[in-house]
């Protein structure tokens, strides 16, 4: 008897499913097709995006090699193209390199304008690098107050760029004739164990040189070539997006 009831129940269930399928079958098929198409499109986009980023990375490396060989004219063309066509991360990084190339070519105003633009980025790595490079670019011709205001966002105790910013301030003080203050600032950098080792060594060497040579002056440490600015260890290795 239980077998009869089970068969009847299965027939009723089958009948209900058939009725539902007749009503909504076309919609279910359409939805399945959309899901499959959406997954396929997403996977295709991922492959395209990865391919494009790899291509831009290769272009960036090739442009960097032009800088290393001193071919600034062609490097400027290549980095300018990357800045205009690449995804945001590579575009902004290309602009930072382009600012360095402008400076190496003597196009100071163009370099300053581009660096000021980059200081407004939401990316803390690139905006901070731009601030330090801009501060060095302006250091010899701008008032200390202007340089200090530019670098103020980097001076917090937990900011990895504070040591690079402090080095610029020390140089500006030395340039302005505040020799003892500059020596003290260089010594503070040299004695801070949280500062990068190379920066501590450089600052300590400058402080000792200035104390031993009362009439001597220390050169600016930021390179004026198209090489990229120094990056604190805490933020090295970040990949552009």
> What are the pLDDT digits (tens) for 30-81?
666 566 655 555 555 455 555 556 777 788 888 888 888 889 999 999 999 9
Give the rounded distance of the alpha carbon of 56 from its chain centre.
15
The rounded distance, in Å, linking the Cα atoms of 3 and 190 is: 91
**Cα distances (Å, whole numbers) of residue 68 to 62, 63, 64, 73:** 10, 9, 6, 12
199 φ/ψ sector (left φ>0, alpha ψ -120 to 50, else beta): alpha
How far apart CA 13 and CA 212 sit, in angstroms, is 98
Mean pLDDT lowest among 29-38, 76-85, 88-97: 29-38
The burial class, CB within 10 Å (0-12 / 13-18 / 19+), for 64 is middle
Task: Quote the distance between the C-alpha of residue 185 and its chain's center.
Answer: 28
Which residue from 181, 161, 162, 182 is spatially nearest to 171, judged by alpha carbons?
182
CA distance 170 to 173: 5
Query: Position of tokens 């440490």?
Result: 221
Q: Which residue has the higher pLDDT, 224 or 93?
A: 93
Of 100, 125, 128, 104, the C-alpha closest to 114 is 100
Does residue 231 have a pLDDT over 80?
no
**pLDDT tens digits, residue range 187-228?**
999 999 999 999 999 999 999 999 888 776 655 555 444 444
**pLDDT bracket for residue 174 (50, 70, 90):** very high
pLDDT at 127: 94
3-state secondary structure of 154: helix
Measured over the CA atoms of residue 220, residue 203, residue 94 and residue 116, the dihedral's sign is: negative
Mean pLDDT of the 177-195 span: 95
Mean pLDDT of the chain: 80
């Amino acid at each position: 008897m239980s077998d009869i009831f089970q068969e009847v129940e299965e027939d009723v269930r089958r009948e209900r499913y058939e009725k539902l399928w007749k009503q909504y079958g076309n919609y279910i098929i359409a939805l399945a097709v959309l899901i499959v198409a959406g997954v396929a499109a997403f996977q295709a986009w991922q492959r395209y995006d990865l391919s494009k980023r790899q291509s831009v990375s290769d272009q960036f490396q090739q442009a960097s090699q032009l800088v290393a060989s001193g071919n600034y004219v062609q490097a400027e063309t290549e980095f300018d193209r990357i800045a205009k066509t690449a995804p945001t991360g590579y575009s902004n990084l290309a602009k930072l390199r382009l600012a360095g190339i402008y400076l190496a070519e003597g196009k100071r105003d163009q370099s300053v304008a581009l660096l000021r633009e980059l200081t407004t980025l939401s990316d803390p790595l690139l905006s901070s690098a731009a601030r330090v490079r801009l501060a060095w670019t302006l250091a010899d011709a701008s008032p200390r107050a202007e340089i200090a205001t530019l670098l103020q966002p980097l001076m917090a105790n937990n900011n990895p760029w504070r040591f690079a910013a402090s080095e610029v301030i020390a140089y500006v003080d030395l340039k302005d004739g505040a020799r003892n203050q500059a020596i003290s600032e260089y010594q503070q950098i040299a004695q801070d164990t949280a500062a990068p080792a190379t920066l501590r060594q450089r600052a300590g060497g400058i402080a000792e040189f200035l104390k031993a040579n009362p009439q001597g002056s220390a050169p600016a440490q930021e390179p004026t070539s198209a090489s990229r600015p120094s990056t604190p260890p805490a933020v090295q290795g970040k990949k552009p997006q």
